[in-house]
């Protein structure tokens, strides 16, 4: 269940029970720290490398960012182990 590509972003949940990791291939995985078990997989969260991960205050959602200039919000309350992100926001970084 490990990442196939290098992990470039990690974040602990507020209670430190979960660890989210994001890799160069756009995957996000959520791990239970005490057991090392992968409890959630977002296989195609981003088309590029995940560069940042932030948990919501109640650890019910993840906000992730990628090198391809998009944000993704993942809902941790869903029952299925492999999920897709709830929504994506794309933005341009070009200057005027």
pLDDT top residue among 51 and 17: 17
pLDDT in tens, 46-93: 778 888 899 989 988 888 888 766 667 677 666 554 445 554 444 444
Q: Say what the pLDDT of residue 85 is.
A: 57
**Alpha-carbon separation of residue 33 from 9, 12, 41, 87, 92 (angstroms):** 16, 9, 15, 27, 36
- Global pTM value: 0.75
Q: Pairing between strand 50-55 and 37-42? A: unpaired
Walk across the sheet containing 50-55 and list its strands. Answer: 50-55, 61-66, 70-75, 87-90
């Amino acid at each position: 269940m490990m990442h196939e590509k290098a992990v470039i972003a990690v974040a602990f949940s507020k209670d430190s029970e979960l660890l989210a990791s994001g890799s160069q291939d756009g995957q996000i995985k959520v791990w239970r720290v005490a057991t090392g078990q992968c409890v959630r997989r977002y296989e195609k969260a981003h088309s590029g490398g995940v560069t940042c991960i932030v948990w919501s205050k109640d650890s019910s959602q993840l906000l992730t960012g990628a090198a391809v200039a998009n944000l993704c919000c993942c809902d941790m309350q869903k029952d299925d182990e492999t999920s897709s992100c709830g929504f994506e926001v794309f933005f341009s970084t070009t200057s005027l």
